Amino acid sequence: MVLTLLKRIVGQSGGADFLNCKAGEGKMVKTLTIYADSERVKSIKLTYSDNTTSSTHSYQSGTIHEIRFEPGERVTWVTLWTDDRYKDLAQIQLSTTYNKHIDGGGYWKGYTPYFIDVRSGYLVGATGNAQSAYVKALGLIFLIEVTKTTISNVVYDPPQANLISRTTLDSATFDKRGSTSVLNWEFTDSQERTNSTRFTSSTPQTFTANVSVETSIPEIAKADESYQWQTGKTQTMETVETHTATLSWSLSGSLDPGLKHRCNSYCQQGQADINYTADVKIDFQSGESLRYKDKGDLIQYSVCLRQCLRRKDVTDIADSEDESDDEIPDKETQKGKEIIYYT
């Protein structure tokens, strides 16, 4: 489709025309490089968010003026100047939302400023014409206002890192050895853990207005006898989200004289690093939309909400032997009995 872009060419015609723009592929300008001396703009070069570089228009000489755009950074204003004698481009002034500036070119005795409408502030290209020694005319190309960005049809690769580990939340010991009375005991508490999700793009200088992701998020779940990453139901979320999960446990009972009793509560937690491919749709204020394929990385930190509560009864086992959190068989032994609870 033909996408409406905003540009205004300032300067005099002549020389070779040029047009560099990759907005139709979802690519923005990552680096804007201007070469200028005390009289003119000598050359311009664009590096896009996919690290491709435009042709260098005209001759690379003079002082380098350059802006490297950060993710989400936009142009706030642009002024292009022409000299009153030849009507050629003489100077470029530009500023961004991160307070970066370009001011390159000449100061003529007679010159005219042109204040450029930057609309969304997303710089996606440049057009104009140039002779062998300098740029005669220039138009910077901007997207019109972006209203919404949607990432959908997310397809995940296998996790690069499947780091899932058991973590002890709490433990308690009840000891009635050397006593003749029964102890009614209770092992109850809760802790908070944070789950976080972060989507990144392979081209971070992308359109960041009102970004939402429609996908199923991998979470830790028990599969057979192990814990693995599994996807759940599809949901709509932001590119960065955090949620607090409350892990609660509760066991109680009575302890007979001569016994020592220990309880442990656990959870499974882990971090996954997962590559993905997805469809991106950009909606504009004009009613137009732009679609393209993208790829990126999902960093997911998850805590499994299914806790394992372990109760271990022992009789004459020594204290030093009783303090290990290592797994032991779920059966009676000479040293005691272990009971596993899942909640």
Task: Spell out the residues 6+ positions from residue 37 whose beta carbon is closer than 8 angstroms to its own.
Answer: 61, 62, 63, 106
Chain segment 268-280, per-residue pLDDT in tens: 888 888 889 999 8
The pLDDT, as a whole number, for residue 332 is 34
CA 75 to chain centre: 22
The pLDDT, as a whole number, for residue 38 is 82
The pLDDT, as a whole number, for residue 30 is 92
The pLDDT, as a whole number, for residue 320 is 42
Residue type, 113: P
Pairing of strands 111-116, 308-314: unpaired
The pLDDT, as a whole number, for residue 204 is 58
Q: How far apart, in whole angstroms, are the C-alpha atoms of residue 28 and residue 72?
A: 11
pTM: 0.67
Residues of the chain with CATH 2.100.10.30: 5-144
Which residue numbers in the chain have pLDDT < 50? 1-2, 316-336, 341-343
Q: How far apart, in whole angstroms, are the C-alpha atoms of residue 100 and residue 86?
A: 30
Could you say which of 2.40.50.140, 2.60.40.790, 3.40.30.10, 2.100.10.30 is the CATH number of the domain covering 5-144? 2.100.10.30
Residues of the chain with CATH 2.170.15: 149-342
Residue 83: exposed, middle, or buried by beta-carbon count in 10 A (0-12, 13-18, 19+)?
buried
The pLDDT, as a whole number, for residue 305 is 52
The pLDDT, as a whole number, for residue 33 is 93
Q: What is the CATH topology of the domain spanning 149-342?
A: Proaerolysin; Chain A, domain 3 (2.170.15)
Cα angle 119, 57, 66 (rounded to 5 degrees) comes to 60
25: helix, strand or coil: helix
The pLDDT, as a whole number, for residue 203 is 63
Sign (positive or negative) of CA dihedral 325, 326, 329, 330: positive
